Structure 1
Amino acid sequence: MAAIISCHYLSSPATTKFSRSNAPSNRICYPIDLSKARSLGFRPRCSSQEPRRYPLQNKHKGKSFSLKECAISLALAVGLITGVPAFCWSANANAGPVLPDLSVLISGPPIKDPGALLRYALPIDNKAIREVQKPLEDITESLKVAGVKALDSTERNLKQASRALKQGKSLIVSGLAEAKKEHGVELLDKLEAGMDELQQIVKDRNRDGIAPKQKELLQYVGGVEEDMVDAFPYEVPEEYQSMPLLKGRATVDMKVKVKENPNLDECVFRIVLDGYNAPVTAGNFVDLVERHFYDGMEIQRADGFVVQTGDPEGPAEGFIDPSTEKTRTIPLEIMVEGQKSPFYGETLEELGLYKAQTRLPFNAFGTMAMARDEFEDNSASSQVFWLLKESELTPSNANILDGRYAVFGYVTENEDYLADLKVGDVIESIQVVSGLDNLVNPSYKIAG
């Protein structure tokens, strides 16, 4: 496995990050603090002015919102902030107000760690390993406590995880895929030994040594959980089966050269792509990576809301497949908790699944998703964006991105440095470091 390259960072300037949410196509909702957003330069979209390459924008020129719609959006924002139920009004004149379920919009505490999100997104059902995983993850919260109380809390977490491993080890082993069982058992042995080592770190009152060891243990847990997946768990719809598909996971390193930032020279972002929950979307991206499509391309948007790239030079806004000489587009692809396969071609709003929870949510800073025309669900091609979350303005589980844009991965290393990227910074390369064998129907192997 390739080593993870650290960012070459010279100093740590203060940066201001904020998020902006625009309305979905037929409901006018702003789940943010608009007064605070305005102080940071945000304005509601109540005019026909449209920025270029906005992943959430309406690309149909001349479209504008009415004063009534703007007032309604402000009412909803107040409702979300104060807790007083507000409403969304359908753009359809014949429709009435729709009361949102605020308990669904604002539920918590949500999982924000990309590694944890990826672990919980695996298609497995093994309670025993989850009972080991959870207390190990809770160590992160324990370390936020001041003084020796953090060590005491960490020790309790560790004892709980160790007890769960001892009591549930046979159930964990029985849940391993037969072909991966030997590797999974090896990881469990490393996990058990690592817990003993962490126990000694806590006993020695070495607070600084806890987080690195915790990360190592959770990597073992994640590896065990991946070894529980026997095969790709469902069939992709027939109309998409000939497309490049990622049937599993892949890891890529994206190296970015920074042009005009005295504090940041270059950085390598490690990204885990999840083909279990977005095989078409992730497969399309890996295929483009292997074509070196993104190599040498500039960052095209970096505004505190997202970092975005993928628009090639020329009139085309996506990848032109040389075998067809046409733009290759992919369907909107959303996996929902409780479902065995993704929904294709429609947003969850269009499907009427307002309370559904996406398997890959926009919870983590550096969530990676496909940009598309707001009113054309199946228009995504090559433009991708990474969300820069600021929870005060766009709380997790209280945004209008989930279920409308296809998430297919998370930045798991150096994600904080995404906020330092600027328009014009150059992607020197994106390389697959593992999981390429999970790509089927790779179009980059076709001559021409």
Structure 2
Amino acid sequence: MKPINVLKGDRFSVFSKVCLVVVLVLSFCFSFSEAAWTLNEQKPILISFLAQGDAVTDPDAILRNALPIDNKPVRQLQGAIEDIAKNLKAKRWGPIKKDVKDASFVVKTKTDAILASVSESRQSLAQDVLERIKGELIQLDDSVTVQDREAVMSFSKAILAQITNLEELMVQGFPYEIPSQYANLPQLKGRATVEVKTTKGDMTIVVDGYSAPINGGNFVDLVQRGFYNNLPFIRSEDNFVVQTGDPLGAEDGFIDPKTKKYRSIPLEVMVRGEEKPFYGATLEDSGIYLPELVLPFNSFGAVALARPSTDPNGGSSQFFFFKFDNELTPPGFNLMDGQYSIFGYLVKGKEVLEEITDKDKIISAAVVDGSQNLNQP
């Protein structure tokens, strides 16, 4: 089936856009290369109208929330600083001042509670990070006082980067056992950063092995093999997806040189509150409808494994960047969630992804951080 051309134009309201995504998911398909892998009509999806709230659309925030840690003070600190960006858009200086005050209170009074989640070997590193956060909070407060919007944004981002570092120091190993039937597949037990050079520019992906160890491990392994180098983008839909990973020749995915067989990767979805991901079936088929996912499709540049419509475990090397805006993917109404395995997010290069077409290609892809977290079978 031909790729879907998502309609554009000011004449479409938010309601029209939401109707469009329902039609796309229920009635149309992803074209997975010349082999015509499709997402044809499946059984109806139960749609629940849940409380909308504020969608978390920032990929860095989603990745912070996905870390397997349990420390209330650091999450309070994170929430206060993340709230600044929302208030800054409306120039609400009073609430911004309160956010800074709340964050400062946490780092001044709850240092011991924060450090309690950090192992002894990492204590000095965590203390250094906290000291940097304290210093940057003073500068942030000064910038808020004079209502310097650019400085407030800059210091907020710098503090959030330090909070990410602090939270990563809290992770105590890999948090669960991966099912033994996947022992023959590469597993990413942690995170990795991948830089992708394209004919339009460079992009950076953070791969989350805590939430998608099999899909993330497969991707990082293929990157290390040079599999994606010089492969074209085979599909580009305005406001929808950019897809790649179809190898040259007759095959639709990666053929493992050891087994001489197609490497198939299971559907893998982590639901918030669960100890480990769901494997092997869509959440809909498992009787789970529109849950809160650890890795949702809320963010521009979500990276997910492409698969045949009839086989949730038939993905291999092909993957796509999701491009819908947050009007089309609000919390409680995202029909893509639970249907595909997200394994990472674009954290740099949004402007590049916006310009990529099926005339472009990947020049090279390389793991620049976290390669030690990849475990080979």
Which is higher, the Rg of structure 1 or of structure 2? Answer: 1
Cα contact 2:254–2:263 (8 A) shared by 1: yes
Question: Structure 1 residues 341, 183: closer, same or farther in 2, change over 3 A?
Answer: same
The question of 1:181 aligning with 2:156 is answered: no
SS in 2 for 1:152: helix
The question of 1:138 aligning with 2:83 is answered: yes
Tell me, in whole angstroms, the C-alpha distance in 2 between the residues paired with 1:157 and 1:377.
Answer: 43
Tell me, in whole angstroms, the C-alpha distance in 2 between the residues paired with 1:373 and 1:206.
Answer: 51
Aligned to 1:111: 56
Aligned to 2:11: none
Aligned to 1:363: 298
Q: Deviations over 1:196-224 (max 9, x none)?
A: 11112223332211111111100111111
Tell me, in whole angstroms, the C-alpha distance in 2 between the residues paired with 1:362 and 1:45.
Answer: 13
Count of matched residue pairs = 366
* Pairwise CA RMSD: 2.8
Identify which of 85, 90, 97 aligns with 1:155.
97
SS in 1 for 2:126: helix
Identify which of 121, 126, 129 aligns with 2:66.
121
Displacement after TM superposition at 1:187 (Å): 0.8
Displacement after TM superposition at 1:181 (Å): 2.0
SS in 1 for 2:202: strand
Question: Structure 1 residues 152, 242: closer, same or farther in 2, change over 3 A?
Answer: same
Displacement after TM superposition at 1:417 (Å): 3.1
Cα contact 1:362–1:396 (8 A) shared by 2: no
Identify which of 347, 351, 371 aligns with 1:412.
347
Cα contact 2:48–2:332 (8 A) shared by 1: no
Question: Structure 1 residues 404, 153: closer, same or farther in 2, change over 3 A?
Answer: same
Cα contact 1:19–1:390 (8 A) shared by 2: no
Tell me, in whole angstroms, the C-alpha distance in 1 between the residues paired with 2:18 and 2:174.
Answer: 47
Tell me, in whole angstroms, the C-alpha distance in 2 between the residues paired with 1:430 and 1:100.
Answer: 38
Displacement after TM superposition at 1:318 (Å): 0.3
Identify which of 313, 317, 327 aligns with 1:378.
313
SS in 2 for 1:289: helix
Aligned to 1:346: 281
Task: Flag as ranges the 4+ runs of structure 1 deviating above 6 A.
Answer: none
Tell me, in whole angstroms, the C-alpha distance in 2 between the residues paired with 1:116 and 1:388.
Answer: 18
SS in 2 for 1:386: strand
Letter in structure 1 aligned against 2:218 = N
Gaps of 5+ in 2: 9-13
SS in 2 for 1:437: helix
TM-score by length of 1: 0.76
Letter in structure 2 aligned against 1:388 = K
Displacement after TM superposition at 1:324 (Å): 1.6
Aligned to 1:279: 213
Cα contact 2:202–2:352 (8 A) shared by 1: no
Displacement after TM superposition at 1:175 (Å): 1.0
The question of 1:59 aligning with 2:38 is answered: yes
Tell me, in whole angstroms, the C-alpha distance in 2 between the residues paired with 1:192 and 1:116.
Answer: 20
SS in 1 for 2:233: coil
SS in 1 for 2:344: strand
The question of 1:199 aligning with 2:146 is answered: no
Tell me, in whole angstroms, the C-alpha distance in 1 between the residues paired with 2:41 and 2:129.
Answer: 56
Identify which of 39, 43, 49 aligns with 1:102.
49
Q: Deviations over 1:347-392 (max 9, x none)?
A: 1111111253211111100011100011201101000101002233
SS in 1 for 2:89: coil
Aligned to 1:257: 199
Tell me, in whole angstroms, the C-alpha distance in 1 between the residues paired with 2:83 and 2:64.
Answer: 14
Tell me, in whole angstroms, the C-alpha distance in 2 between the residues paired with 1:37 and 1:375.
Answer: 23
Gaps of 5+ in 1: 1-16, 21-30, 66-89, 92-97, 259-266, 443-448
Aligned to 1:332: 267
Question: Structure 1 residues 64, 434: closer, same or farther in 2, change over 3 A?
Answer: closer
Tell me, in whole angstroms, the C-alpha distance in 2 between the residues paired with 1:415 and 1:359.
Answer: 21
Tell me, in whole angstroms, the C-alpha distance in 2 between the residues paired with 1:99 and 1:405.
Answer: 17
Tell me, in whole angstroms, the C-alpha distance in 2 between the residues paired with 1:302 and 1:217.
Answer: 35
The question of 1:33 aligning with 2:16 is answered: yes
Cα contact 2:304–2:342 (8 A) shared by 1: yes
Question: Structure 1 residues 334, 207: closer, same or farther in 2, change over 3 A?
Answer: same
Aligned to 1:170: 112
SS in 2 for 1:33: helix
Question: Structure 1 residues 321, 145: closer, same or farther in 2, change over 3 A?
Answer: same
Letter in structure 1 aligned against 2:267 = L
